[in-house]
Amino acid sequence: DAGVIQSPRHEVTEMGQEVTLRCKPISGHDYLFWYRQTMMRGLELLIYFNNNVPIDDSGMPEDRFSAKMPNASFSTLKIQPSEPRDSAVYFCASSLGTGQLSNTEAFFGQGTRLTVV
Protein backbone atom coordinates (compact mmCIF):
# COMPACT_ATOMS: atom_id res chain seq x y z
CA ASP A 1 0.00 0.00 0.00
CA ALA A 2 1.21 3.51 -0.79
CA GLY A 3 0.25 4.76 2.63
CA VAL A 4 -1.94 7.74 3.39
CA ILE A 5 -1.91 10.10 0.44
CA GLN A 6 -2.59 13.80 0.79
CA SER A 7 -2.93 16.43 -1.86
CA PRO A 8 -1.80 18.98 -2.59
CA ARG A 9 1.54 18.96 -0.76
CA HIS A 10 1.68 22.73 -0.82
CA GLU A 11 -1.05 25.29 -1.22
CA VAL A 12 -0.76 29.06 -1.33
CA THR A 13 -3.97 31.01 -1.46
CA GLU A 14 -5.25 34.48 -0.87
CA MET A 15 -7.29 35.43 2.13
CA GLY A 16 -10.98 34.88 1.53
CA GLN A 17 -10.54 32.09 -0.96
CA GLU A 18 -11.86 28.57 -0.48
CA VAL A 19 -9.29 25.87 0.15
CA THR A 20 -9.86 22.12 -0.15
CA LEU A 21 -7.41 19.59 1.20
CA ARG A 22 -7.68 15.95 0.17
CA CYS A 23 -6.83 12.65 1.78
CA LYS A 24 -6.85 9.05 0.68
CA PRO A 25 -6.54 6.70 3.66
CA ILE A 26 -4.92 3.28 3.66
CA SER A 27 -7.24 0.73 2.13
CA GLY A 28 -9.17 -1.18 4.78
CA HIS A 29 -8.68 1.37 7.52
CA ASP A 30 -11.96 2.41 9.10
CA TYR A 31 -10.79 5.47 11.04
CA LEU A 32 -9.61 8.73 9.54
CA PHE A 33 -8.20 11.71 11.43
CA TRP A 34 -7.44 15.29 10.43
CA TYR A 35 -4.75 17.19 12.36
CA ARG A 36 -3.34 20.68 12.12
CA GLN A 37 0.20 21.62 13.15
CA THR A 38 1.55 25.06 13.92
CA MET A 39 4.60 26.23 15.81
CA MET A 40 2.44 27.86 18.45
CA ARG A 41 -0.09 25.10 19.08
CA GLY A 42 1.68 21.92 17.99
CA LEU A 43 -0.33 19.01 16.62
CA GLU A 44 -4.05 19.47 17.14
CA LEU A 45 -6.75 16.93 16.33
CA LEU A 46 -9.49 18.62 14.32
CA ILE A 47 -11.95 15.84 13.53
CA TYR A 48 -12.12 12.11 13.03
CA PHE A 49 -14.36 9.67 11.19
CA ASN A 50 -15.35 6.06 11.68
CA ASN A 51 -16.71 4.23 8.65
CA ASN A 52 -17.15 7.57 6.90
CA VAL A 53 -19.21 9.05 9.74
CA PRO A 54 -17.84 12.02 11.74
CA ILE A 55 -17.42 10.96 15.35
CA ASP A 56 -15.84 13.97 17.04
CA ASP A 57 -15.44 17.39 15.49
CA SER A 58 -14.80 19.26 18.72
CA GLY A 59 -11.38 20.28 17.50
CA MET A 60 -12.65 22.10 14.44
CA PRO A 61 -11.76 25.72 15.13
CA GLU A 62 -14.85 27.40 13.71
CA ASP A 63 -17.59 27.23 11.15
CA ARG A 64 -15.23 28.14 8.36
CA PHE A 65 -13.85 24.61 8.61
CA SER A 66 -15.75 21.58 7.35
CA ALA A 67 -14.77 18.00 6.65
CA LYS A 68 -16.44 15.25 4.69
CA MET A 69 -15.85 11.63 3.94
CA PRO A 70 -18.10 10.61 1.05
CA ASN A 71 -16.63 7.12 0.86
CA ALA A 72 -14.06 4.89 2.51
CA SER A 73 -11.25 5.99 0.24
CA PHE A 74 -11.58 9.75 0.26
CA SER A 75 -11.91 12.66 2.65
CA THR A 76 -11.75 16.42 2.30
CA LEU A 77 -11.08 19.29 4.68
CA LYS A 78 -12.43 22.59 3.45
CA ILE A 79 -11.77 26.09 4.69
CA GLN A 80 -14.10 28.80 3.46
CA PRO A 81 -13.22 31.63 3.62
CA SER A 82 -9.55 31.14 4.44
CA GLU A 83 -7.64 33.51 6.71
CA PRO A 84 -3.89 34.04 7.29
CA ARG A 85 -4.15 32.41 10.72
CA ASP A 86 -5.18 29.17 9.02
CA SER A 87 -1.65 28.84 7.69
CA ALA A 88 -0.35 25.53 9.00
CA VAL A 89 0.53 21.99 8.00
CA TYR A 90 -2.53 19.78 7.83
CA PHE A 91 -2.09 16.05 8.35
CA CYS A 92 -4.42 13.22 7.61
CA ALA A 93 -4.05 9.85 9.36
CA SER A 94 -5.86 6.53 9.18
CA SER A 95 -6.03 3.44 11.36
CA LEU A 96 -7.79 0.16 11.95
CA GLY A 97 -10.24 0.41 14.82
CA THR A 98 -9.82 -3.09 16.14
CA GLY A 99 -7.51 -5.99 15.64
CA GLN A 100 -4.10 -6.97 16.87
CA LEU A 101 -2.52 -4.08 18.71
CA SER A 102 0.34 -3.98 16.28
CA ASN A 103 -2.13 -3.37 13.47
CA THR A 104 -4.15 -0.57 15.01
CA GLU A 105 -1.62 2.22 14.91
CA ALA A 106 -2.22 5.47 13.12
CA PHE A 107 -0.43 6.07 9.85
CA PHE A 108 0.06 9.66 8.79
CA GLY A 109 0.29 11.25 5.41
CA GLN A 110 3.03 13.67 4.41
CA GLY A 111 0.82 16.64 5.09
CA THR A 112 -0.35 19.71 3.19
CA ARG A 113 1.45 22.94 3.90
CA LEU A 114 -1.11 25.72 3.62
CA THR A 115 -0.13 29.34 3.35
CA VAL A 116 -2.84 31.98 3.31
CA VAL A 117 -1.61 35.42 2.28
- Please report the sign of the dihedral spanned by the C-alpha atoms of residue 25, residue 59, residue 65, residue 67: positive
Give the number of residues in contact with another protein, rule: CB under 8 A.
28
Say if CB 35 and CB 46 are below 8 A apart. yes
- What is the per-residue DSSP string for 11-64? EEE-TT--EEEEEEPPTT--EEEEEEEETTTEEEEEEEEETTEEEE-TT--STT
Binder of another protein out of 13, 20, 30, 72 (CB under 8 A):
30
Binding of another protein by 33 (CB under 8 A): yes
Binding of another protein by 54 (CB under 8 A): no
Binder of another protein out of 50, 61, 80, 115 (CB under 8 A):
50
AA identity, residue 53? V
Binding of another protein by 76 (CB under 8 A): no
Q: Binding residues for another protein, per CB under 8 A?
A: 4, 29-31, 33, 35, 42-43, 45, 48, 50, 56, 91, 93, 95-99, 101, 104-111
